């Protein structure tokens, strides 16, 4: 039987990663788990995010997956280093692919990172970047209001612009030429972020990078699906109706096949 790629996130934002996976790997079956009962992860402690992530991984393993993608940046920051070698399938997070691409893209060796409080506090992006190129200066800042803006569909307008200007000021001040969008939701705010930072700044979308990384791993392991159209199944731990109603914004299409399931049982 064809094995699927498992993807988990704290809620709906991981669908930006699913969208890229569908685009780059159209033949793959996907099983998504969105922890909508316990979202947001961005303000939770490291211990709690690790516990939730392990439960989500165990849930996906029961769905017979061949690889797990941690689409959530906060979970990738806190939990991936702890879980990565403890399960029988490859587990891929969004941090390393995004950091690598940013190091490749920067010309002036100044990189900005934006994410949730948890992601920024963990300094995982910063450490990854420094490991790849110690001379790079990293300016990292949390943009917590971006998540509710995106979920409420506020993707433009004065309020969003004012908040973006406020959050992105330290990045502008430090003259970054490359910025990592270190949160599942931020790719939807690209136009606003670009308007504030200017056209010359390169925006790194970790969703694109992680999908490329997964394609590479599956090809190396000879388990890349090459035929047929992939099937997609979505599980959420609460309120599938809410998930379905806003999912289109992230996924580009309405998700079919959404069910409720708990990962902590
Ligand atoms: N998915 C989270 C992330 O990428 C954002 C939402 C949350 O705080 O749970 O960090």
Task: Give 30-65 pLDDT, tens digit per residue.
Answer: 999 999 999 999 999 999 999 999 999 999 999 999
Whole-number Å distance between alpha carbons of 99 and 84: 17
| Residues classed as catalytic | 72, 183
In a domain, 265, yes or no: no
Q: Are residues 84 and 214 in the same domain?
A: yes
State percent of the chain over pLDDT 90.
94
Looking at the structure, tell me whether residues 212 and 87 fall in a common domain.
yes
Q: Whose CA is nearest to atom 1 of ligand 1?
A: 72
More confident residue, 264 or 92: 92
Report CA(73)–ligand 1 centroid distance (Å): 6
Structural domain for 80, as ranges:
4-93+208-260
Is the CB of residue 101 less than 8 Å from the CB of residue 179?
A: no
User: Which of 163, 188, 206 is where one domain is finished?
Assistant: 206
Same structural domain, 107 and 77: no
The SS3 assignment for 252 reads coil
Residue 106 sits in the same domain as residue 199: yes
* Same domain as 102, residue 24: no
pLDDT at 206 over 90: no
- Please give the distance, rounded to the nearest whole angstrom, from the Cα atom of residue 184 to the centre of ligand 1: 6
Torsion of CA 113, 60, 25, 103, to 10 degrees: 20
The answer to whether position 17 is within a domain reads yes
| 252 belongs to a structural domain | yes
Phi, psi of 69 (to 5 degrees): -105, 125
Average pLDDT over residues 78-86: 94
Q: What is the CATH number of the domain that holds 171?
A: 3.40.50.1860
Three-state secondary structure call for residue 162: helix
Ligand 1: which residues within 6 Å by Cβ? 9-11, 13, 39-42, 72-74, 116, 119, 147, 183-185
| Ligand 1 atom at minimum distance from 182 CA | 4
């Amino acid at each position: 039987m064809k094995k699927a790629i498992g993807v988990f996130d704290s809620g709906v934002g991981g669908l930006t990663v699913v969208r890229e996976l569908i685009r780059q790997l159209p033949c793959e079956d996907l099983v998504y788990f969105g922890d909508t009962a316990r979202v947001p992860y961005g303000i939770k402690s490291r211990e709690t995010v690790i516990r939730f992530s392990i439960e989500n991984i165990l849930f996906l393993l029961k769905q017979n997956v061949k690889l797990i993608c941690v689409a959530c940046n906060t979970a990738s920051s806190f939990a991936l280093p702890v879980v990565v070698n403890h399960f029988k399938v490859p587990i891929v997070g969004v941090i390393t692919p995004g950091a690598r691409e940013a190091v490749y893209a920067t010309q002036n060796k100044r990189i900005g990172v934006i994410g949730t409080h948890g992601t920024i506090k963990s300094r995982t992006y910063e450490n990854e970047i420094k490991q790849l190129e110690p001379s790079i200066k990293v300016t990292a800042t949390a943009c917590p209001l971006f998540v509710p803006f995106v979920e409420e569909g506020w993707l433009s307008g004065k309020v969003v612009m004012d908040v973006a200007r406020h959050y992105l000021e330290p990045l502008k001040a430090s003259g970054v030429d490359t910025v990592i969008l270190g949160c599942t939701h931020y790719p939807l705010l690209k136009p606003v972020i670009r308007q504030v930072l200017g056209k010359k700044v390169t925006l790194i979308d970790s969703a694109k990078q992680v999908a490329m990384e997964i394609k590479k791993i599956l090809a190396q392991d000879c388990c890349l699906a090459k035929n047929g159209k992939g099937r997609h199944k979505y599980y959420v731990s609460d309120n599938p109706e809410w998930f379905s109603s806003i999912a289109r914004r992230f996924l580009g299409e309405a998700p079919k096949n959404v069910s409720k399931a708990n990962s902590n049982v």
